[in-house]
Amino acid sequence: MRVMNFSAGPSNLPDEVLKEAQDHLFDYHGKGFSIMEVSHRGKVFEEVHFEAIKMAKELYGVNDDYEVLLMQGGASLQFAMIPMNLYMGGVCEFANTGVWTKKAIKEAEILGVNTKIVASSQESEFDHIPQFEFSDNADYAYICSNNTIYGTQYKSYPKTKSPLIIDASSDFFSKKIDFSNIAMLFGGVQKNAGISGLACAFVRKDMIERSENKNIPSMLKYSVYAENNSLFNTPATFAIYMFNLEMKWLLNQGGLDKINEQNIQKAKILYDVIDGSNGFYKGHAKKEDRSLMNVSFNIAHDKNLEPVFVKEAEENGMIGLKGHKILGGIRASIYNSINIEKVQKLSEFMKDFAKKHA
């Protein structure tokens, strides 16, 4: 019997996706070979590769103004690739809402980029999304849409004339979004859309043009990926295969609007338990900025009970609930593949635990 996996990433995969991958691991569609063994230059893998890109574009409803790039290195490599490819010698502006934006700022500074932090919620331990405006003439404006550690999420994206770059790693493919103001949306796929080792980026073509005449190593250059359909070198073939299965699964669920409806319901179940616990539990994020993906909270009644909570949850078939080492506490990551039934079981455990220890 599979446990209920509330890990922040790599995270739970849909049972249907795992079973299909299992069926094809040894013999892919009766062809006598594994999908992991097949050449990335052959027709079989190319069908998987291009179908994955097509489905990703269909889910978000993006037009041909954007290229979908599949790259190794996860989102962390993008922290360096973005300034390499998109910095034009002006200023790059950041809204600092946690660890992942801090890492992106650090990588840009290593490369000698002129960075400006326009807003930060660091003084209050990143418990909210600050109010701010980007300037109209930055080389790019950068945000992280959802913070896995602190449990905050943008409810709407800032409007700016500067190209908007969004790290959407932890709420990737969780809801439909308006791309009209977005120059680049990217993320590691291991939370909501696949397994670790792969980054997916929707990059507007005028942004890719910035990299064409730059002196950047080929494997770090967006124009090289675009010109070669992300097949310049041997890609992460199995990760792309799993990404393909996840895209198919999302479409079969009814698409991102349907997925978002479920995500709203799931988050409400847990936040209602926290808010109705008479102070036993305390959420970290301000209510208006709470994440639908990562519910971070403490046992305010007695923090010494937190490891007990995690241990007893594991004994009840629920893993991955220990909070990040930076923040501590408890964190339930309720990505797309975590169904409402599993969230309800966690909520009942939370209620029973509070009754027992209050």
pLDDT value at residue 262: 98
Q: How far apart are CA 169 and CA 354, in angstroms?
A: 32
Q: How far apart are CA 150 and CA 130, in angstroms?
A: 14
Q: How far apart are CA 95 and CA 80, in angstroms?
A: 17
pLDDT value at residue 33: 93
* Nearest residue to 347 via CA among 318, 327, 322, 325: 318
Flag whether 41 is marked binding.
yes
- 191 as an active site residue: the answer is yes
State phi, psi for 284 to the nearest 5 degrees. -80, -45
Flag whether 160 is marked binding.
no
Flag whether 190 is marked binding.
yes
Flag whether 275 is marked binding.
no
* Nearest residue to 17 via CA among 177, 204, 241: 241
pLDDT value at residue 1: 81
- 249 as an active site residue: the answer is no
Distance of CA 329 to the CA centre of its chain: 21
Beta bridge partners of 188: 199
Classify domain 255-357 by CATH number. 3.90.1150.10
Ranges for all domains in the chain classified under CATH 3.90.1150.10: 255-357
Ranges for all domains in the chain classified under CATH 3.40.640.10: 16-253
Q: Are 284 and 150 in contact (CB under 8 A)?
A: yes
Please list the pLDDT of the chain residue by residue as tens digits (358 residues): 899 999 999 999 999 999 999 999 999 999 999 999 999 999 999 999 999 999 999 999 999 999 999 999 999 999 999 999 999 999 999 999 999 999 999 999 999 999 999 999 999 999 999 999 999 999 999 999 999 999 999 999 999 999 999 999 999 999 999 999 999 999 999 999 999 999 999 999 999 999 999 999 999 999 999 999 999 999 999 999 999 999 999 999 999 999 999 999 999 999 999 999 999 999 999 999 999 999 999 999 999 999 999 999 999 999 999 999 999 999 999 999 999 999 999 999 999 999 999 8
Flag whether 100 is marked binding.
yes
Flag whether 2 is marked binding.
no
- 3-state SS, residue 102: helix
Flag whether 75 is marked binding.
yes
Is the Cα dihedral 300, 316, 307, 12 positive or negative? negative
Flag whether 148 is marked binding.
yes
Compute the residue count for the chain: 358
| pTM score of the predicted model | 0.97
Flag whether 234 is marked binding.
yes
Catalytic residue among 100, 127, 175, 249: 100
Catalytic residue among 191, 221, 266, 322: 191
Query: Among 1.10.1200.10, 3.40.640.10, 3.30.1330.60, 3.40.50.170, what is the CATH number of 16-253?
Result: 3.40.640.10
pLDDT value at residue 225: 98
Catalytic residue among 127, 139, 167, 289: 167
